[in-house]
Structure 1
Amino acid sequence: MTAQTTEALWLSDQEQASWRAFLEGTARLSEALNKDLEIDSELSLNEYEVLVRLSESPTDSLRMSQLADSLAHSRSRITHTVRRMEERGLVVRESCAVDGRGVNCTLTDTGRAHLVEAAPSHVRSVRRHLVDVLTPQQLKNLGEAMQRVADACR
C-alpha cells in the first residue's frame, strides 16, 4: 500500500454538512414516525413495514429472506421482529411448501386489521414530518437521490 491509498479522502465542508444533516434527519424522522405509530397503533415502524410488505404480496406471504431483503434488515433482526409479531397474532411463520428449508411469514387477519387501522394515522405522520416539510421538487429530488443510494448499496 502506498501512503496515498491509506490516507483518508476527507469530506469537504459541504459534504460533511450534507452527511451530518442526512444522519440527523433520518434518525429524527424515524424516531418521530416510530413514536407516532407506537402511540396511535401500538406498532413499531419496523412492525408496520413488515405488515405493509406482506399485504403487498399477492399471497400475503413472503419468505423470511425476501422480507429481510425488502426491508434492508439482517436475517437476525427480521427474525426477532417477526417472532414478537407472531406472539401478538399479527403474523404466522410456517415452512415453505416449495422448499422445506425456507420459512414463510404470512399476514394474519389480526395483522391486516392492525394495518388497516394504523395506516391513516401513519400517512398523516409521514405527511407532517416529511411531505409537508419539503416542496414537491425537494421531495422528488429526495426520492431520486435515496433510490440511487439504495441501488448503489445493493
Structure 2
Amino acid sequence: MTETRWLDEREMAAWTGFLRASNLVARHLEQQLREDAGLSHTQYEILVLLSAAPEGEVRMTELAARLITSKSGLTYQVGQLEKRGLVARRSCPTDVRGVLAVLTADGRRTLEEAAPGHVAAVRESLIDVLERDELAVVAEALHRVGARLEG
C-alpha cells in the first residue's frame, strides 16, 4: 500500500481556489443563461457545438463525448431542446443505428440571441478578472489537466 501524499499549504490553496472559482463561475453562467435565454449551460453548449458543425448536425454519440456527458443525459437535454423546436433528431443516413442532432433555424436564432449575454457573463466572471499573461498560464494549465484526464 502506498503512503498518502497529503496536500501541502500551497497545493491546498490551489485546490480549494479552483473548486470555489469553478463552482461560482459555473453557477453564474447557469443563472445568466436561464434568466436571459431560458437555457441550461449544457443546452447552450449543445447549440454551440451544432452551430459549428457542418450542416448543423452531429451524431448523438459524438456530441455526448464532446460535452463530456452521459448518453442518457444528452438524450434528456436534446429532448428538452427538441420540445422547444431548437433541435431535431433524425436517423443517420450512413449508419442505421446512428442518430443525428440537428440545429433548427429557431435553434440558430436562439443561440445568436443568447450568445452576446453569455460572452459578457464569461468575460465578467473569468476573462476580464485575469491579466493577459495569466490567461495564457491558466489556459495551458487547464489544457494539461484535461489532456491527462482524457488519457
Name 2:27's counterpart in structure 1: 31
Provide TM-score, normalisation by structure 1. Answer: 0.93
Alignment of 1:9-88 (within 5 A): 9-88=5-84
Counterpart CA distance in 2 for 1:132 and 1:124 is 10
Per-residue CA deviation, residues 5-60 of structure 1 (Å, 9 max, x unaligned), is 2x322111211111111111111001001111111111111111100000000120
Runs ≥4 residues deviating over 4 A: none
Counterpart CA distance in 1 for 2:66 and 2:120 is 23
Name 1:141's counterpart in structure 2: 137
Per-residue CA deviation, residues 76-123 of structure 1 (Å, 9 max, x unaligned), is 211111111111111011111111111110100110010000011111
Give aligned pairs, total. 150
Provide TM-score, normalisation by structure 2. Answer: 0.95
Gaps of 5+ in 2: none
One-letter code aligned to 1:61: E
Gaps of 5+ in 1: none
Aligned-CA RMSD value: 1.0
Equivalent pairs: percent with the same residue?
A: 43
- Secondary structure at the counterpart of residue 89 of structure 2: strand
**1:72 positional shift:** 1.2
Identify which of 69, 93, 99 aligns with 1:103.
99
